[in-house]
Amino acid sequence: MGDEGRPVGRRVVLGVLGLGALGVAFGRQLSDAEQRVLGVVGPRDFTGLTQLIPAGAGFRFYSVTGSIPRRDAATLTVTVGGLVERPRTWTLAQLAALPQSTQQRDFQCVTGWRVPSVQWSGVALPDLLDLARPRPDATAVRFTSFDGSYGESLTLEQARRRDVLVATALQGKPISAAHGGPVRMAVLPMYGYKSLKWLDRIELTAEVEPGYWERRGYDVDGWVGRSNGRGDDPT
């Protein structure tokens, strides 16, 4: 009875596998084309339906802890400490009184998604470091999140770049809790995992300490297009 009829099921399975292989082979081009279409259609889509399209553009929410950490913007402080001569603490209002920097770059995630032309505003990290005066034995900077788990590091040289921001605004608005607010890092030339969310403390250290994902295999020097085995266009 099992031999009755033709083995169409097997052919369908093989056909689907073939389509899948073709999709993988030309996935780069297909996905680029899709992003181009969504780049045009998405901003004009007030129904939000394009959000449901697979591989659609936009941020994706990653958190390593169980819920969105929330801090009141009125009482939040950011501290620069560790190997510095003058440990400093700033409220959000005090940060706003410092010289502000606004920069627009693509945001590239190491898992593949990219959000074009994201505007970040805040204080350039080198300005805060200068105010705290790193000691000569400090060679690296460690960032700690108030989510209780996440950490990140940069070398002092990387941290002195003008495109590394202690960000307080995203796309011209205060940063929401889901996007890492009230204050987060924006390490613009590196992959997203370097831009720590829910910033609590910045500490100068004697050496680079691998961060949360770096202890799980990501590169410590997370330059976009030159790390993690990826060849993305630099941001």
Contact 83, 205 (CB under 8 A): yes
Nearest to 70 by CA among 175, 226, 140: 175
Nearer to other proteins, 109 or 156 (CB): 109
64 near other proteins, judged by CB under 8 A? yes
Residue 2: strand, helix, or coil:
coil
- Within a 10 A sphere around the Cβ of 105, how many other Cβ atoms? 18
Please state, in angstroms and rounded to a whole number, the distance separating the CA atoms of residues 98 and 69: 26
Nearer to other proteins, 70 or 173 (CB): 70
Q: Smallest distance, Å, CB 14 to other proteins?
A: 7
The half-sphere exposure of 81 on its side-chain side, counting CA atoms within 13 A, is 8
Question: Which range, of 63-71, 80-88, 128-136, 195-203, touches other proteins by CB under 8 A?
Answer: 63-71
Site string for other proteins, 23-62 (x = CB under 8 A): xxxxxx-xx--x----------------x--xx---xxxx
Site string for other proteins, 91-130 (x = CB under 8 A): --------------------xx------------------
Please state, in angstroms and rounded to a whole number, the distance separating the CA atoms of residues 220 and 235: 17
Q: Smallest distance, Å, CB 100 to other proteins?
A: 28
b/e code 80-101 from CB counts within 10 Å (16+ = b): bebbbeeebebebeebeeeeeb
Site size toward other proteins (CB under 8 A) is 50
Footprint of other proteins (CB under 8 A): 1-10, 12-17, 19-20, 23-28, 30-31, 34, 51, 54-55, 59-68, 111-112, 178, 216-217, 228-232
